[in-house]
Every structure is written in structure tokens, then in C-alpha cells.
Chain A
């Protein structure tokens, strides 16, 4: 389909050809980017699946250990230990670059602690507290990693959707339109050339009859 503001001149044709070239290059690059991001998303989805399985196991284990700790130390004992924690873990959000996309990277500091850094005294507590603390430290670490994967997957999925729309728009709308425009210009220019040729023919012929 011919675009309204396109001039049927040589310059107009060259401009359309340039646009076609740019659109096709863009289409190829966007498709490449989309494919890479899809591959990355598939990798992340596999990791999420594994991480979910790990989380399930760790959560069950941590709950069981906490139940045992509550049985042995009482919930009051657990409260005492929980208020003993003096340093909270710190989670820093950074990013990594995948095909120009900024995917989140969460760096957790101070989740896994040594026994002497947990804040409760060694002598007044039992080993079940260590076991519960260790189980929940492991669970928290996995939750942070899982959150990073989920956030990356969400961003990637949104970007892939956007890219898909753009690739489809280029593939099924913009590039066919540009080809149609180019063809229309070529046709029009051929037409104009034929008209010009005919006009010149008739002008020459009329000049010849005067002679």
C-alpha cells in the first residue's frame, strides 16, 4: 500500500529502499535478540523449577526442624533466641547485562552465619537451635536466589512479549508496507517514464510535421 507522504521520485524510492534495509536489519536483530532472550528465559525457567523443588524441600525441612526446636525449647525459647539476633542480613540489588537487558542480581550478605555470630550464647542453648537456625539460613538464601530468578524471568518475559510484538509488526506490517510502497513507486515511476517517453515521442513527431 502506498504511503501518503511518499514522493514518487528517485529520491523517494531510495528513501524507501533505505527504510526497507533498516527495517529488515532491525527485524533480523530483534529476532536474534528475542531468540537469545527466549533461550535465557528457558534456562532461567529450568533453574526456577529446580529452585522451586529445592525450596519445597528446604521449607519442609526447616518447618520440621522448627517444630522440633519448639518441642525441645518451647516457643518461648525460640522467642528468646530470635531476639538474640543482632545483625540482620543485607540484600543488595545489582544487575547483569543480557543482550542489553538489565537483569537483577541479588547479593545477600550475612544470611549464613557462624555459630558464634548468631547472637545467642552457646552454653545456654541446645543444638536444635543451631539446626533450626541453619535450616532457615539455607531457606532464606534459596528464597533470595529464587526471587532473583523470578524477577529476571518476569523482566525477560515482558521484554520478549514486547520484542515479539515489534518483530511481528516489522514482519507482517512495516516491511510488507514498505515493499508495497517501493513497488508502487517503481510502478508509478515506470508509468511516469512511459508517459514521458510518449510525450517526447509526440512532441518530436509534432515538430517533424511542422517542418
Chain B
């Protein structure tokens, strides 16, 4: 550096505890605060500067440009990001990370990572959430000091609950003496990650570039170790902006990333699980957040076919083909009720899978598992549980619990099962296969028959919407990048899901506002593969942060969005109805505070205003097919398109 202030900020950062920053006493403290040293004859007091306004530093020479050989700290940070092979970094711009922002777009040439402009930090994080589940690697996001992290918080919580790694870089100005007066103080914080620490897996607040390098790589490694979760690194404004001399830069290095092998289940527990499964008469396999890679899907097929056991896919990930004869997701309750062995793979809620709780004035619960049935759990969530936020669900009483990554454990479990299958068991399995295949055929037929009800109704039935959409994407390389639960599960019941990217699960924390940005993030991941991304979009969800439509238009992210516009927060209408009925009053007032009408939201106009091709509202079922055709033509040109479809509630 050409000139040093009286208090070197790097030394300050190295020496000061984060929370001690406020206690820092500047050189020019008021006289009254100085101790009187009798031995010095009061010299300390005499040597102290006169009382008056605090002086932070001597005036620095004009150092507005980097000197010869100097580098920007932000450039080195970009070297780190490039070493971690981020394709994208999403953000709403903010001054606390202006240093690294400029380094990304200029020094880094805005490639790997490419800056994705978002209109809200919740959109940035949810985009990264959806992106990971389609691409299998994390996306970085930048957020601005206090305000950005607060905006991002809900989306971070969703990712945490969904066990998805999101790589958060938070700008901040820790050194109070360097902050610009006014807003920069309001946007600075002692402990930037404090407010989200309950729902990130790890975070750090590096005080030097070398520290940033290690922590950035460590954060990536921790995020990608099951159970995967968001991580956060605070990126100090001073570190980003202050020059780095050639000598200092020569000492910096990019640490090598070695990702952790996912933990496998204990070999003895695997053997016992295999024994139980092979000898079971009515086993059932239930998978939720199992398939964290494409291989998870293949492994579950292999396990199910080895045992000829039915599979219930709870849909946290794309775990099992929807039309596989062993897919019996629609019969979950029956299967669990009659099973003698239940294998749960990365279940979000094992207790809720085997018990029911009646939402009545006096809540009652009961298990519907058969007496003597054996419950086996394999989940990495058992390796990492926090206290405050209660997403860990009610305690499940299982017989065998493996604290392990289920996908990593499946190869050993499959081999152990195969070793135990003898001729007698194989004959049982073959018979079971025939019965299950027959039942699956009936399930598919029953779903179609149910879809025919209200086929010509207006508002359009969710079954009709899904059937119309399926007809036009079935021959494409498609990917459903939205949640499907609020559609009464019709996509899984009518469509042929076979590939890992065709279903991306849900939000995890059930925080509304996830859907639209996660869909755009999934579509961003699909873009380079030429996949057709489709999004069935809730109306209330889009209203949280519709600016993500602009992001899709701006970055030319092809995405077909069909609004599931039921003009209400329908889950909440049902809750309010329940309260009114329970209290015996106001049974027709459930719409107050729960509906999105009067006026109806014109989502086509909103989308058009964001630069997205759009049509609607479409309330007649016969108009839907041709409209989808027109929208698809736009998407196939590489742009987003939206159809506002007025729908039945579920």
C-alpha cells in the first residue's frame, strides 16, 4: 500500500474479535478516558492529544488507482470462486460487495461464474436451490450486508430444510472507521451471519485474503458433504477493495478442494437390514430426499427389483420412475399399514409416514404400522441436527437407524440382499412382482379415470391442465422444474417420469415464494442441455417476488410457465374454514384474508411487463391446448413464456 492509516485495517481485523469491534478505542481518545501514570509524572496524560472530535487517520495521499504491481483483493477472491467451478453467481447488486462484483465481471470476464441479476435476494437463493437439484452442483449467491441477508433468510431456510447446498457470500464492512457515513452503517453488522446461523451448516468471517481462501474452499467442502446444506462466507468490503501488493499476492495460494466421500451405513447394520428385507413378506421401500445424483435413481430401481418390493416415492427428489411397475406411491397408506418391513430412505418425516394426527380440537394421533413390523431408517440427517428450528419432525421409533447417506449405502445394501436371495425367496419375489405389476396397471388406469371428472369444467381442473401440458411435452426432453404437490399430484399420476432431472422436489421448508425462482434456477441449469423446462406455478407464490420473471427474460432462460391460478391461498382457506367450523361461527367468512381476487391478478400483464411473452387469463379448457402450443413455440426459441390459467383449487 502506498500509505497506511494510523490503524492498519488488516491488523485491526486480525486482532479484533468480531464482537469487540465496537470496543475499539481510537488513538485520539478523550483526555478524561486516559489513566494517570504517577510514575511518569502525568506524562501519559500530558502526551495525549487534546480533547475534541476523534481523528481516525492522517490524510492519505490520493490513491484512487492501483499502483504498479498491485492487485485488487476481489480478483483473488474470483480466483477462488473459479477454482470451485461455479457456473453462476446470482445477486441483487449491493455496495458491500462492489469490489468482488467488479472483479467477477471484469477480471473474471463474467464467465464461470457469470453474474445473474436478481431483483430480490430470496430469488437469488431460491434460484440456487432449484439449480442445484437440476445440475447437482452448487450455485453461488452474493447478498448485501444486513439487508441482503434478511431478504435471503427465508430462502436459505428452505434450502436448509431441503438439504440443498447454497453457497452464500455476504458483503459487509466490519471496520467501522472505514465505513461511509449514513447507509453503509445501516448496512453493516458485527456478525453478519448471526441471523441465519440456525439454518446454515457452517459460516465464517475471514479477516485476510489467505483466510478467505481457506474458508471459501472449506465452506464448499462442508456444503457438499451429506447432509448437504447452505453455507455462508462473509466477504469484507475492505478485503475486496484494498490493493494487494505484488509481494503479498505472491504469498497467496488457492487451496485444493477435496470433497468428502459420503458416509456409508455400518456394515453390520446393512447386513441386518438386508436380512429383514429379504425375509419380509410385505416389505415397502419409501424414498424422499434419496437421489442426490442420477445414480440414486438407478440404485433404487436395482434395490426394488432385487427384492421385487413396492416403492413409495415421496417426491423430495426424482427417486423412482413414475410408471415402473413397482411404483406404488399412490398406495402409500395401504402399503405402510400392511408392511412387515418398512425401509425409509432419507425421509423428511418418518413419524408422519407411519402415524396420523387428526387436526381437530383435541388432537389425537395413532400409528398405522402393523404390530411387530420392523422399521429401518437410513438418513444423513441423523448426522447433523440443530435445536432451534424444528424441521427435524417428531421422533420416529425405528428398529434400525443408520446415520448415513442412503444413496452411498444402497450399493452395499443391494449386494447384501442379492447374497441372501435363494430359490425359495426368488419364487416369492416373482409372485410378488406379478401381483404388483397388475396393481400398478390398475393404479394408472384409476388415475386416468379420476382425471376425467370435471374434465370440461371452468375453472380448469388441475388434471386437465396436466394432461394438456403432458400431451405437448411428452416427446420432448422435458424437465418439471416446479413443485407438483398443489396439483393433487397429477403430474406424477399422468406423466412418465424416468430421468433424474424431470422432478426437482419441493421447497423443503414450505416457505411460499420458493416456486418461481427455483423454477428459473432449474431452467437455468437445464438450458445448456437443451431441455424443455416447464413450471406449474402457484399464484400466491409468484406474487412474493415476481421480479424473477424479469431475470428469466433478461438472461434468456427458456421456461414454460403455466399459472395454477386458483385465486387464493388455498391451504389457508381450508385452515380458516376449520377454525370457523370448530368455533361454530362465520362458516362463510373464510375468504377474508385468504383469497387473491377483487381484483383478480392479471399474471399475463405482469409477465409482459417483465419482458416475458404471455397470454391469459385462460379459463376455458378447450382454449388451453392451443395456448400451450403458442407458448411452447416461444420457449423453443430460447425465451420464457407464461400462460395465466385459471384453475380449480387443487
A and B held together in a complex: no
